[in-house]
Amino acid sequence: MENIKAKKKYGQNFLIDKAVLNGIIQAMPNNNNYLVEIGPGLGDLTEKLVKYKDMTAYEVDTDLIGVLRSKFQDEIASNRFKLVHKDVLQAWEGQNTLHEGKYDLIANLPYYIATNIILRALEDANCEHIIVMIQKEVAQKFIAKVNEKEFSSLGIISQLLTTDSRILFDVPPESFNPAPKVVSSILYLRKDMTKSLSDDFKKFLKACFSQPRKKLSKNLSSLLEKAEISKIFSALNIDENKRPHEVSASLYSQMYTKVKNGRE
């Protein structure tokens, strides 16, 4: 492994399974979009991706930047590959998008910030497809449907912002070095480029799921008076005994509109 020791603090589990690498390449959308990779690591996935498309990769670890610069010196010189030495979440803080033009995000993500990265990519107006390896349990939350126990704000946000969300395949711990303690999955999300969600709606969802196993009406009592909750539930035909995971994404959206209109 080129004398590089994997660093836990950066969530480094390097993919060593060629069949999985090829599986990710096969899942690449057939389009003209630019590519962005987050966490290229030792560059094994990058090496395959850059053969197909021009791309940018964000890597936070200084030790890996040196390895990547020498491995991809030709691609960097010919501008086919741009390597950015930065924490990707910080990169997003300074700008709305990681690329000026439509792009697809393909990555074996560091698990400790995977959820934040996906949420950020869902908000990025230029990102069209998200194909990422993450912990299976987290992937299931992004594709969960109403009434499933995994259905949460992540499933709602994903349903409201995408036209397709799927797990492509699972990846066992042995496919990595070092092996993580959990099974991973390749999550595929195709965004509806016409949609976006306000921060205020996301805060509303957070309140709705503040205690996921309690009744939704109880969670909402931190935001609204009891009479207001009853009025909204009755207008939308929502049973007051429902738990947060038993209410559909579309009803959350309608509920929020009523709350907002009530405030105005």
Q: Is 39 annotated as a binding residue?
A: yes
* Residue closest to ligand SAM (Cβ): 39
Q: Is 87 annotated as a binding residue?
A: yes
Q: Give the ranges where 197-248 is alpha helix by DSSP (H).
A: 199-208, 216-220, 226-235
Binding ligand SAM by CB under 6 A: which of 34, 58, 201, 256?
A: 58
- Does position 17 interact with ligand SAM (CB under 6 A)? The reply is no
Q: Shortest distance, CB of residue 55 to ligand SAM, whole angstroms?
A: 13
What's the token pair of residue 30? Answer: 């057939």
Whether 232 and 219 have beta carbons less than 8 Å apart is answered as: no
- CA pair distance 256, 153, nearest whole angstrom: 13
Give the binding-site size for ligand SAM (rule: CB under 6 A): 23
Of 17, 27, 44, 258, the one binding ligand SAM by CB under 6 A: 44
Q: Residues 95 to 134: which contact ligand SAM by CB under 6 A?
A: 108, 110, 113
Tokens of 153: 């704000």
Q: Is 15 annotated as a binding residue?
A: yes
12 binds ligand SAM (CB under 6 A): yes
When binding is defined by CB under 6 A, the residue of 34, 35, 39, 238 that contacts ligand SAM is 39
Choose, by CB under 6 A, the member of 13, 140, 165, 185 that binds ligand SAM: 13
Give all strands (DSSP E) within the chain, no chain letters: 14-15, 34-38, 55-59, 81-85, 103-108, 127-135, 162-171, 176-177, 184-191
CB nearer ligand SAM, residue 170 or residue 240: 170
- Distance of alpha carbon 62 from alpha carbon 152, whole angstroms: 36
Q: Which is nearer to ligand SAM, 10 or 242 (CB)?
A: 10
Instruction: Provide the residue type at 82 as one letter.
Output: K
Q: Which two tokens stand for residue 258?
A: 């009523």
Beta-bridge partners for 184: 135, 171
For ligand SAM, give the closer residue by CB, 60 or 139: 60
Rounded Cα–Cα distance for residues 157 and 65 (Å) = 34
Would you say 13 is a known binding-site residue? Answer: yes
**Angle subtended at Cα 128 by Cα 58 and Cα 143, rounded to the nearest 5 degrees:** 95
What is the bridge-based pairing of β-strands 34-38 and 81-85? unpaired
Residue from 11, 23, 29, 212 touching ligand SAM (CB under 6 A): that is 11
In whole angstroms, how close is the CB of 60 to ligand SAM at the nearest point?
Answer: 4
Give me the least distance between CB of 78 and ligand SAM, in Å please: 22
Find the binding residues for ligand SAM in span 68-87 (CB under 6 A): 87
**Which residue, 98 or 229, has its beta carbon nearer to ligand SAM?**
98
Residue with Cβ nearer ligand SAM (174 or 264): 174
- What stretch of H or E contains 249? helix 249-263
> Is the sign of the CA dihedral 86, 89, 93, 96 positive or negative?
positive
Integer CA distances (angstroms), 65 to 15, 71, 254, 258, in order: 17, 10, 47, 50
Residues found near ligand SAM in the complex (CB under 6 A): 10-15, 38-41, 44-45, 58-61, 64, 87-89, 108, 110, 113
Annotated binding site for S-adenosyl-L-methionine: 13, 15, 39, 59, 87, 108
